[in-house]
């Protein structure tokens, strides 16, 4: 056996560690439910609990390098918990209605078997960071619950005892699988010269992202402290006889080396055609845009305060407010000015009345809370009165629980959409879309293709950077192989405003060879601006592009309401025989991908059918192209839409 082979075998063997571990775990129960499935309980809400438990198991560690290891552990754990909530309520004590203090108590005993996987990265000396996931099977799940009378100190419930609703058994409908994200630190202590025996104390924290019971908000997080005992097999030492050193080979003259070169070409793509033009054409068109107004103001849970994301003015700001300042804003940015748009239009039309309908989610702490709904509507009325001087006689207030057209309240996003105030008026102009007459710019090319070429057979890495006025606006990187081409998506991955301000783009490719030298090439992309006045001077063909967004759809709906029909009639009035109309359907990110794709197609088709125009096409994107951030309800509503593009040739 050669020296190299012996060293390799030894190194391979030292990469493996085996052992056992044990932890003491402190569990934090994060909950938001009032009862277990199929279990009677009158607790308003269980919110938190805690308990301790132990886990133990086997481990395997693969040492990738001096600083990085991978660890897999098989474990068995108990994730028990005691969740309680004290409630003061009227109850029958000794058959007498009494203001009682009642404890709702839930004791759970859950056992799991699972796999933990970590990446271990050394920080200082033998102190290391642990990070990874665990995947668990719930093998046992029992519960015990009761409701206990704490105050008054004497007396009994109607059952003659100071406890009631005492139940125990298996937790129904519990998740089979459970997962957590884990992080922490450990420290390796070696006990022999060969480092074959290791003790590793550790502290970790686990964030559980899988509910214990589906459809219940109940996650169990944990803080853990424990210790691992590891053993590394040491190979038996073998006497290695070195191979005889061969005589040196005669020196041969090195062949002349070819000069190393890097080059690239640039092509542009317009439609289905590829061109050798290294240019970007930005064309200016006349345009009319219609931004719809969603007539809802959304509120945080259990709150009647207008959220800070809505734009609110003072009296001085309201006195100089102009709607035409919204010209450069998107649909969603315009929507956040809804109260000021309505206030301005009501000020300009003193005979118009509005109606504010306050709503709540009718679940959890908002259940049947009509008072909260009324407070929300009054808060809107107060703003219109104090800032915009709209007299209370012009504002009618109503309060209900769920809205007439409510979203699915079984999911948190649906509940958030139902916490709102709806605004109505006897004059459609108060909430009519914002019409913007302006120009728009569009890039005629869809892609720029870069084709790298080099005689470097091997290299370390390479980059392609695109700069505008010395600022990097796009960068691509590659390793191992030279790509056949690098595609830059101009439609979805470029800032047209930044391109419009530039005359040219500098494109630089750099490849770092094995000799640590950098080889490069640089080329330019010319940017052409095709302005309306230039097209008219040269008598070039031109067109007007009008953009419309339909009044937003309700949750899971593709039906056209009266406002949408009215807007589609406005669209139809802009058409002539040579117009082309494109309908694009969109959805939010709630629900299944396939269903959302079908729903978006139905929305686009329904709008196309309503126009009854020959030269139309429609398509749906579902949630593959989310128009807005779906974190808040208004972003989801504005994503449920159909965008209409009308192109009409100008003679």
Give, as one character, the DSSP assignment of residue 263.
Answer: E
The C-alpha atoms of residue 148 and residue 477 are separated, in whole angstroms, by 65
Cβ burial of 594 (10 Å; 0-12, 13-18, 19+) is: exposed
Q: Are 399 and 355 in contact (CB under 8 A)?
A: no
Cis status of the peptide bond prior to 31, with omega within 30 of 0: no
pLDDT of residue 459: 87
Backbone φ and ψ for 391, nearest 5 degrees, come out as: -65, 145
Virtual torsion, Cα 589, 595, 596, 601, nearest 10 deg: 180
SS (H, E, C) 126-150: CEEEEEEEEEEEEEEEEEEEEEEEE
Tell me the pairing of strands 46-63 and 16-33. antiparallel
Q: List C-alpha distances in Å: 9 to 6, 152, 196, 238, 471.
A: 5, 76, 16, 11, 51
Spans of the chain below 70 pLDDT: 1-14, 236-240, 250, 252-258, 537-540, 551-552
| Distance set, CA 548 to CA 398, 435, 567 (Å) | 32, 9, 8
Give the integer Cα–Cα distance in Å for 485 and 264.
9
Q: Which residue has the tokens 């450069």?
A: 328
What pLDDT score was predicted for residue 498? 85
Rg (CA), the chain: 34
Q: Which residue has the tokens 């459970």?
A: 178
d(CA 648, CA 651): 10
Tokens 């090195």 map to which residue? 254
CA distance 227 to 374: 57
SS3 446: coil
* Cβ 493 vs Cβ 234: under 8 Å: no
Q: What are phi and psi of 365, to 5 degrees?
A: -75, -10
Q: Do the Cβ atoms of 571 and 583 come closer than 8 Å? A: no
The CA distances from residue 514 to 172, 450, 462, 510, in Å, are 62, 23, 12, 13
User: How high is the pLDDT of residue 239?
Assistant: 63
Q: How far apart are CA 341 and CA 343, in angstroms?
A: 5
> Would you state the pLDDT for residue 552?
66
How many residues are there in the chain? 651
Nearest of 562, 567, 556 to residue 602 by alpha carbon: 556
DSSP state of 402: S
Q: How far apart are CA 165 and CA 41, in angstroms?
A: 7
Report residue 471 as tokens: 């600022």
Determine phi and psi for 498, rounding to 5 degrees: -70, -40
| DSSP state letters, 138-186 | EEEEEEEEEEEEEESSS---TTSSSEEEEEEEEPTT--SEEEEEEEEEE
Query: Whole-angstrom Cα distance, residue 73 to residue 117?
Result: 6
Q: Return the pLDDT at 650.
A: 84
What is the DSSP code string of 340-354?
A: HHHHHHHHH-TT--E
- β-strand pairing of 279-291 with 542-549: parallel
Per-residue pLDDT tens digits for 528-557: 888 877 777 666 677 888 888 876 677 778
Which one, of 75, 84, 31, 30, lies nearest residue 53 by Cα?
75
Transcribe 212-247 into DSSP letters. SSTTS-EEEEEEEEEEEEEE---PPP---PPPPPPP
Task: Identify which of 145, 224, 244, 294 has the alpha carbon closest to the alpha carbon of residue 641.
Answer: 294
CB atoms within 10 A of CB 541: 8
State the Cα angle at 341 between 338 and 345, rounded to 5°.
140
**Cα(304)–Cα(369) distance, rounded to whole angstroms?**
12
For residue 408, the tally of other CB atoms under 10 A from its CB is 14
Rounded-to-10 torsion of CA 384, 387, 389, 390: -10
Q: Alpha-carbon distance 76 to 139, whole Å?
A: 10
Question: What is the model's pLDDT at position 171?
Answer: 87
Most distant pair of Cα atoms in the chain: their distance: 111
- The span from the CA of 453 to the CA of 174, in Å, is 58
């Amino acid at each position: 056996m050669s020296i190299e082979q012996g060293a390799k075998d030894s190194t391979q063997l030292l990469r493996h560690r085996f052992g056992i571990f044990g932890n003491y775990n402190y569990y934090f129960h994060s909950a938001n439910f009032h009862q277990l499935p199929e279990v009677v309980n009158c607790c308003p809400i269980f919110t938190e609990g805690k308990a301790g438990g132990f886990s133990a198991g086997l481990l395997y560690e693969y040492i990738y390098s001096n600083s990085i290891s991978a660890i897999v552990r098989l474990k068995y754990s108990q994730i028990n918990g005691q969740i309680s909530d004290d409630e003061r309520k009227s109850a029958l004590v000794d058959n007498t209605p009494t203001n009682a203090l009642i404890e709702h108590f839930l004791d759970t005993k859950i056992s799991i078997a699972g796999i933990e996987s970590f990446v271990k990265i050394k920080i200082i000396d033998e102190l290391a960071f642990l990070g990874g996931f665990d995947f668990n099977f719930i093998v046992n799940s029992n519960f015990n619950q009761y409701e206990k009378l704490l105050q008054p100190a004497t007396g009994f419930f109607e059952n003659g005892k100071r406890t009631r609703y005492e139940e125990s058994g298996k937790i129904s409908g519990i998740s089979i699988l459970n997962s957590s994200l884990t992080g922490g630190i450990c420290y390796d202590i070696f006990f022999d010269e060969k480092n074959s025996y290791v003790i590793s104390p550790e502290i970790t924290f686990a964030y559980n992202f899988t509910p214990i019971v589906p459809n219940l908000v109940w996650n169990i997080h944990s803080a853990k402290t424990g210790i691992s005992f590891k053993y590394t097999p040491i190979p038996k030492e073998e006497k290695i006889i070195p191979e005889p050193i061969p005589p040196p080979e005669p020196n041969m003259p090195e062949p002349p080396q070819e000069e190393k070169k890097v080059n690239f070409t640039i092509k542009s793509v317009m439609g289905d055609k590829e061109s050798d033009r290294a240019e970007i054409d930005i064309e200016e068109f006349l345009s009319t845009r219609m931004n719809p107004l969603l007539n809802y103001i959304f509120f945080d849970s259990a709150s009647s305060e207008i959220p800070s994301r809505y734009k609110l003015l003072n009296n001085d700001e309201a006195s100089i407010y102009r709607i035409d300042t919204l010209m450069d804003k998107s649909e969603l940015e315009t929507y956040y000015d809804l109260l000021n748009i309505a206030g301005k239009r009501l000020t300009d039309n003193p005979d118009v009345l509005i109606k504010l309908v306050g709503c709540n989610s009718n679940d959890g702490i908002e259940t049947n809370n009509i008072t909260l709904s009324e407070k929300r509507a009054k808060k809107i009325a107060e703003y219109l009165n104090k800032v915009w001087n709209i007299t209370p006689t012009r504002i009618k207030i109503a309060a209900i629980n769920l809205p007439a057209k409510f979203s699915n309240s079984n999911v948190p996003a649906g509940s958030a959409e139902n916490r709102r105030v709806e605004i109505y008026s006897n004059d459609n102009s108060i909430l009519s879309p914002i019409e913007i007459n302006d120009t728009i710019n569009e890039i005629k090319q869809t892609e720029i293709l870069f084709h790298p070429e080099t005689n470097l057979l091997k290299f370390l890495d390479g980059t392609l950077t695109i700069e505008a006025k010395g600022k990097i606006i796009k960068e691509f990187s590659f390793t191992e192989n030279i790509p056949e081409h690098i595609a830059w998506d101009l439609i979805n991955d470029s800032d047209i405003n930044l391109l419009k301000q530039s005359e040219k783009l500098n494109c630089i490719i750099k490849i770092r060879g094995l000799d640590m030298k950098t080889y490069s090439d640089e080329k330019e992309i010319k940017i052409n601006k095709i302005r309306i006045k230039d097209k008219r001077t040269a008598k070039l063909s031109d067109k007007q592009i009008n953009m419309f967004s339909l009044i937003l759809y309700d949750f899971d709906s593709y039906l056209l309401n009266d406002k949408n029909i009215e807007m589609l009639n406005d669209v139809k009035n802009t058409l002539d025989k040579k117009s082309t109309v494109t309908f694009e359907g969109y959805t939010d990110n709630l629900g299944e991908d396939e269903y959302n794709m079908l729903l978006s197609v139905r929305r686009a088709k329904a709008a196309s059918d309503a126009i009854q125009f020959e030269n139309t096409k429609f398509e749906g994107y579902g949630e593959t192209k989310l128009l807005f951030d779906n974190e808040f309800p208004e972003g989801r509503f504005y994503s449920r839409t159909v965008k209409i593009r009308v192109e009409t040739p100008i003679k």
